[in-house]
């Protein structure tokens, strides 16, 4: 039987994860099917998906009634519900984790996004999730804000696996990698084991084009308009080049000799926002070994149907660097694009989290009336 397109991606060294998790996916065996049929080897969760699941169905109603005794602490109620989902998903993906010797099979849970600028509380919540969920294939998502960097380093030094989210800029990516390496170095210096620590650096892709295209259209010249839809892929290609440089350096070779594992690049936000672009653009153009692509279900289906499989990630890197220079030449600042995206990304996550907590409160009131 011919291999599916996603199976072919896996053979090229790219892991396929999905960007959603809900109780419905678990109890209807949809996640199990994705693992079996679509080569899905990991899951990330987020409050937006959870809010939708909570609002549209009754999958959480029984548990919500049980948690109502927490006296309206909607934040804690959410954490309890999410932790239970993540535990189930971790257990479902445990065979993948074991089969890949700990490379894949991870489930990610996100730190409270309102803590994005609070290093200490981010670290504390990272410890809480690892303690409560207590699974070897858990990633805790820490945002790549400047205050997030010490939390990343401390978590790694303490022996915990983390998924670094909301990376947009090449500079911040370099800082994230350095925080990972420092954490490993600290753990080794303390005679700790690093062989079971894993991490991914999640580069957000499609949003880069959305913001850059808007600015290029405001410039409006033929040269500027010709550059639309290209920065996101170029940005990721340059990040991957940096990944290859760091994880072949002498500094890394020493850490690897102690059992450390490379922090893989993860391509997030890979659904295509602009209908004028291919719906598989951010998959087909970013295929390469030692990477992860986290896709929405719709993108999984689209790529299975008509995606193109070929190693593309290491191609055209010099052209990617030239593209950044060309965009700057139009008057569009790369630094302003990525700084705007980071600030907006944190705010969007926080807004979504606030909406989620309101949704839990509303649901609790409905369930109380229905008793």
Residues 289 and 14 sit within 8 Å (Cβ to Cβ): yes
DSSP per-residue string spanning 289-327: SSEEEEE-HHHHHHHHHH---S--TTTTHHHHHHHHHHH
Q: Provide the mean pLDDT of the chain.
A: 95
User: In 3D, which of 337, 116, 87 has the Cα closest to residue 210?
Assistant: 337
DSSP per-residue string spanning 250-289: HHHHHHHHTT----EEEEE--S--STTS-TTHHHHTT--S
Of all residues in the chain, the percent with pLDDT exceeding 70 is: 99
What is the pLDDT confidence band of residue 369, given thresholds at 50, 70 and 90? low
Q: Give residue-wise pLDDT tens across range 221-231.
A: 999 999 999 99
Residues 284 and 278 sit within 8 Å (Cβ to Cβ): yes
User: In 3D, which of 112, 236, 225, 229 has the Cα closest to residue 173?
Assistant: 236
8-30: average pLDDT? 94
Question: What local confidence, expressed as pLDDT, does residue 47 receive?
Answer: 79
Q: Give residue-wise pLDDT tens across range 164-209.
A: 999 999 999 999 999 999 999 999 999 999 999 999 999 999 999 9
Domain spans of the chain? Answer: 5-361
Longest dimension (CA), the chain: 64
For 104, the 3-state DSSP assignment is: coil
- Strand positions, DSSP E, 215-308: 264-268, 291-295
Question: What local confidence, expressed as pLDDT, does residue 344 receive?
Answer: 97
Fold observed for domain 5-361: TIM Barrel (3.20.20)
Look up tokens 């070897």; give the residue.
136
Main-chain dihedrals φ then ψ at residue 38, nearest 5 degrees: -115, 15
User: In 3D, which of 267, 290, 291, 289 has the Cα closest to residue 280?
Assistant: 267
CA atoms within 13 A on the CB side of 288: 22
What is the pLDDT confidence band of residue 1, given thresholds at 50, 70 and 90? low
Main-chain dihedrals φ then ψ at residue 81, nearest 5 degrees: -65, -45
Q: Is 2 exposed, middle or buried (0-12, 13-18, 19+ CB in 10 A)?
A: exposed
Q: Give residue-wise pLDDT tens across range 52-64.
A: 777 777 889 999 9
Question: What local confidence, expressed as pLDDT, does residue 123 receive?
Answer: 98
Spacing of C-alpha 30 from chain mean position: 20
Active-site residue, from 52, 141, 258, 365: 141
Question: What local confidence, expressed as pLDDT, does residue 50 receive?
Answer: 81
Sign of the C-alpha dihedral computed for residues 235, 239, 242 and 244 taken in this order: negative
Question: What local confidence, expressed as pLDDT, does residue 53 receive?
Answer: 79
Q: Known catalytic residue: 273?
A: no
Q: Give residue-wise pLDDT tens across range 309-344.
A: 999 999 999 999 999 999 999 999 999 999 999 999
């Amino acid at each position: 039987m011919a291999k599916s397109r996603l199976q072919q991606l896996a053979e090229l060294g790219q892991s396929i994860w999905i960007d959603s998790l809900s109780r419905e996916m678990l109890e209807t065996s949809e996640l199990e099917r994705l693992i079996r049929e679509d080569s899905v080897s990991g899951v990330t969760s987020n409050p937006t998906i959870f809010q939708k699941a909570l609002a549209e169905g009754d999958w959480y109603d029984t548990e919500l009634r049980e948690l109502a005794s927490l006296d309206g602490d909607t934040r804690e109620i959410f954490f309890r519900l999410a932790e239970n989902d993540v535990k189930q998903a971790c257990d479902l993906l445990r065979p993948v984790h074991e089969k890949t010797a700990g490379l894949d099979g991870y489930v990610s849970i996100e730190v409270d996004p309102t803590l994005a600028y609070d290093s200490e509380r981010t670290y504390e919540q990272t410890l809480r999730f690892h303690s409560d969920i207590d699974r070897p294939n858990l990633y805790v998502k820490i945002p790549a804000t400047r205050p997030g960097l010490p939390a990343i380093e401390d978590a790694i030094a303490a022996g915990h696996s983390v998924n670094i989210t909301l990376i947009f800029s090449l500079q911040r990516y370099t800082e994230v990698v350095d925080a990972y390496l420092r954490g490993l170095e600290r753990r080794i210096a303390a005679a700790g084991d690093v062989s079971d620590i894993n991490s991914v650096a999640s580069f957000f892709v499609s949003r880069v084009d959305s913001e850059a295209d808007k600015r290029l259209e405001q410039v409006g010249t033929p040269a500027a308009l010709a550059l639309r839809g290209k920065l996101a892929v170029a940005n990721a290609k340059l990040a991957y080049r940096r990944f290859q440089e760091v994880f072949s350096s002498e500094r890394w070779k020493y850490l690897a000799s102690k059992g450390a594992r490379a922090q893989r690049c993860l391509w997030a936000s890979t659904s295509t926002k602009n209908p004028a672009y291919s719906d598989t653009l951010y998959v087909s153009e970013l295929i390469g070994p030692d990477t992860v692509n986290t896709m929405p279900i719709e993108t999984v289906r689209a790529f299975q149907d008509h995606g193109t499989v070929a190693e593309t990630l290491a191609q055209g890197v010099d052209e990617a660097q030239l593209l950044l220079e060309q965009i700057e030449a139009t008057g569009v600042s790369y630094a302003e694009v990525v700084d705007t995206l980071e600030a907006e990304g944190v705010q969007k996550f926080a807004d979504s989290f606030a909406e989620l907590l309101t949704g839990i409160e509303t649901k609790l009131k409905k369930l109380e009336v229905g008793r």
